């Protein structure tokens, strides 16, 4: 898009325009070293850095230590620790505006229930409810991007319950929400969460014990779509491979497994490292930003993300090359091939050492990417193509072996009809069963809500309709959602009837 096109676009807000212009400026220079292979595969749309830009000047995802901020305030912003709920919510809102990301808006806003809990008492609950509602409404209108993600739990708190209640009442897409779910989570909090999800498509459930293990017991957060990352850290970059397109480069299955796939993985890792080099060595983010200087984030807690989409299409193509007609999602052989592809990638990533990481142990993480609006013909991550999903039970059994490979995010979305509102316990039984089978993340929505989960982020159906009619809408993710709906049939997701 030319500068003038951005200036003249009638479908975007002022903010989106400024952002578009900044992107255009960044993309007017070429400063990253790339091999010919990476250049060619980027051109072909097989390797894709998701519009991160040609000269990355901040990490993609940042997870500040908000707990430290609530306890100690911030010198640079001249904010002292809060004494009540109004100061606490206001302090956070001020801070959020200074947390950059790839979209320029924060993708992680903290375990907001724990952050606010000490200000909520039995006596001031009504007042806190008002404060929390204003807080959430403020986030939705100023952080106009559904990649903004809050966490709650695993413990039940008064603040957590108020947050869920407010979300049910507001029915707004931002912020996205995940409940960290563990043995500590009460049945009441779990059921309240499910009831909320059936109204407003959030929270998702994250299996706390699995993430804790993957992050060596360190504090983690669920951010953006559903990326799991370390608190006080984040991810410098996310580069992904479109496996469906990549498969077309192979002459047969073994060519793919032995040559095509390892080659693309090594090249991608090199490219991820190059982007990290630029952020660390040339951009000045880690030298000058107050988040670093005051210890809200630490360089050594950042990683790089290796994303993948279109496993289903890749497997189906390879099966065809083998003269077999089994399809990913329903055929054992095809599912096995899918898992082998993921295993191969996992091993290559584990064996790779990024020379810009100080610790030997620090590795890039595999991410099952949900896809973007231009991904016609490529299913998100390891998901079964929409419309081909089996019954929920088979679906969970099929999906569960994949989850262990993706410390930094994978998830399936299950849609439930309105009868579940009368029996949310049934959904909890399914989630518990799924987590016991190996799932790490579970998203759901009610088939009758306005806010729906498109791929990883949330949009309002009513806003998509507005956009269809050529009107300006507040959230950039609505535009992404519309693309996913038109190209990916996301709203036809299989409904879970009884």
270 in contact with other proteins (CB under 8 A): no
498 binds other proteins, rule: CB under 8 A? yes
Return the range that interacts with other proteins (CB under 8 A); candidates 104-112, 271-279, 290-298, 418-426: 418-426
User: Of 88-96, 103-111, 270-278, 426-434, which segment contacts other proteins by CB under 8 A?
Assistant: 426-434
Task: Give min distance, CB of 453 to other proteins, in A.
Answer: 20
Query: What secondary structure, in 3-state letters, does 343-370 show?
Result: HHHHHHHHHCCCCCCCCCCCCCEEEECC
Interface stretch with other proteins, choices 34-42, 368-376, 422-430, 480-488 (CB under 8 A) = 422-430
Distance of alpha carbon 336 from the chain centroid: 26
- Quick one: which of 419, 462, 468, 471 contacts other proteins (CB under 8 A)? 419
Instruction: Scan for tokens 């990253």, then name that residue.
Output: 32
Nearer to other proteins, 76 or 393 (CB): 393
| Interaction of residue 433 with other proteins, rule CB under 8 A | yes
Q: Which of 66, 356, 420, 457 binds other proteins (CB under 8 A)?
A: 420
- Tell which one of 20, 82, 153, 434 touches other proteins (CB under 8 A): 434
Binding segment toward other proteins, per CB under 8 A, in 43-51, 146-154, 282-290, 431-439: 431-439
CB 280 within 8 A of CB 299: yes
Residue in the structure block whose two tokens are 């992404």:
480
> To the nearest whole angstrom, how small is the minimum distance from the Cβ of residue 315 to other proteins?
22
Smallest separation, CB 421 to other proteins (Å): 10
Please tell me whether residue 329 binds other proteins under the rule CB under 8 A: no
Q: Looking at 427, 459, 474, 479, which residue binds other proteins (CB under 8 A)?
A: 427
Query: Applying CB under 8 A, which of residues 28, 393, 489, 492 lies at the interface with other proteins?
Result: 393
Residues 399/437, Cβ–Cβ less than 8 Å: no
Nearer to other proteins, 90 or 432 (CB): 432
Phi and psi at residue 306, to the nearest 5°: -105, 105
What residue has token string 């293990």? 213
Asked whether 479 and 465 are in contact (CB, 8 A), the reply is: no
Taking the complex as a whole, the smallest distance from the CB of residue 404 to other proteins amounts, in Å, to 17
* Tokens of residue 184, six digits: 């500590």
How far apart, in whole angstroms, are the C-alpha atoms of residue 78 and residue 76? 5
Residue 33 φ then ψ, to 5°: -80, 130
User: Using CA of residue 192, residue 194, residue 200, residue 201, what is the dihedral sign?
Assistant: positive
Applying CB under 8 A, which of residues 35, 436, 448, 465 lies at the interface with other proteins? 436
56 phi, psi to nearest 5 deg: -60, 125
User: For other proteins, which residue of 3, 25, 437, 472 counts as binding (CB under 8 A)?
Assistant: 437
Chain centroid offset of residue 40 CA: 27
Q: Count of CB atoms within 10 A of residue 142's CB?
A: 15
- Using DSSP's 3-state secondary structure scheme, residue 283 falls into coil
Minimal distance, residue 195 CB to other proteins, in Å: 14
Q: Are 444 and 413 in contact (CB under 8 A)?
A: yes
Distance in Å, CB of 197 to other proteins, minimum: 15
Omega of the bond prior to 491 within 30 degrees of 0, cis? Answer: no
Q: With binding defined as CB under 8 A, does residue 396 bind other proteins?
A: yes
| Whole-angstrom distance, CA of residue 192 vs CA of residue 424 | 9
Per rule CB under 8 A, count of chain residues that contact other proteins: 21
Using CB under 8 A, list all residues that contact other proteins. Answer: 391-393, 396, 419-420, 422-423, 425-430, 432-434, 436-437, 496, 498
């Amino acid at each position: 898009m030319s500068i003038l096109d951005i200036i003249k676009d009638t479908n975007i807000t002022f903010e989106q325009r400024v952002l578009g212009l900044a992107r255009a400026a960044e993309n007017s220079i070429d400063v990253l070293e790339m091999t010919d292979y990476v250049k060619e595969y980027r051109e072909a749309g097989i390797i894709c850095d998701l519009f991160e830009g040609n000269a990355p000047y901040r990490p993609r995802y940042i997870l500040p230590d908000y707990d430290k901020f609530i306890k100690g305030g911030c010198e640079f912003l001249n904010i002292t620790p809060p004494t009540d709920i109004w100061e606490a919510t206001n302090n956070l809102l001020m801070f959020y505006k200074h947390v950059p990301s790839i979209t320029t808006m924060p993708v992680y806003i903290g375990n907001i229930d724990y952050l606010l809990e000490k200000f909520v008492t039995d006596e001031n609950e009504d007042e806190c409810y008002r404060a929390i509602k204003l807080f959430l409404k403020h986030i939705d209108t100023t952080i106009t991007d559904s990649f903004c993600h809050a966490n709650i739990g695993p413990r039940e708190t008064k603040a957590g319950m108020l947050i869920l209640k407010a979300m049910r009442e507001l029915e707004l897409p931002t912020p996205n929400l995940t409940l960290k779910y563990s043995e500590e989570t009460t049945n009441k909090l779990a059921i309240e969460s499910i009831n909320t999800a059936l109204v407003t498509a959030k929270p998702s459930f994250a299996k706390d014990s699995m993430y804790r293990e993957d992050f060596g017991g360190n504090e983690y957060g669920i951010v953006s779509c559903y990326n799991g990352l370390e608190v006080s850290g984040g991810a410098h970059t996310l580069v992904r491979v479109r496996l469906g397109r990549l498969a077309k480069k192979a002459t047969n299955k073994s060519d793919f497994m032995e040559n095509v796939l390892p080659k693309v993985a090594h090249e991608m890792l090199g490219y991820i490292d190059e982007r990290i080099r630029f952020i660390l060595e040339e951009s000045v983010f880690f030298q000058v930003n107050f988040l670093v200087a005051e210890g809200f984030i630490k360089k050594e807690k950042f990683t790089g993300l290796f994303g993948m989409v279109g496993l289903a299409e890749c497997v189906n193509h390879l099966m065809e090359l083998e003269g077999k007609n089994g399809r990913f999602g329903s055929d054992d052989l095809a599912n096995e091939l899918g898992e082998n592809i993921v295993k191969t990638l996992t091993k290559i990533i584990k064996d790779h050492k990024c020379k810009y990481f100080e610790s030997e142990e620090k590795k890039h993480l595999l991410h099952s990417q949900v896809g973007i609006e231009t991904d016609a013909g490529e299913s998100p991550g390891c998901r079964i193509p929409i419309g081909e999903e089996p019954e929920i039970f088979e679906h969970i059994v099929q999906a569960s072996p994949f989850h262990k490979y993706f410390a930094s995010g994978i998830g399936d979305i299950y849609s439930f009809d309105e009868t579940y509102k009368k029996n949310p316990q049934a959904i909890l039984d399914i989630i518990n069963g799924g987590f016991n089978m190996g799932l790490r993340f579970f998203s759901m929505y009610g088939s009758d809500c306005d806010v729906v989960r498109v791929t990883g982020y949330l949009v309002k159906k009513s806003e998509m309709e507005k956009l269809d009619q050529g009107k300006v809408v507040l959230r950039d993710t609505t535009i992404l959602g519309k693309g996913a709906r038109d190209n990916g049939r996301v709203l036809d997701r299989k409904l879970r009837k009884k």
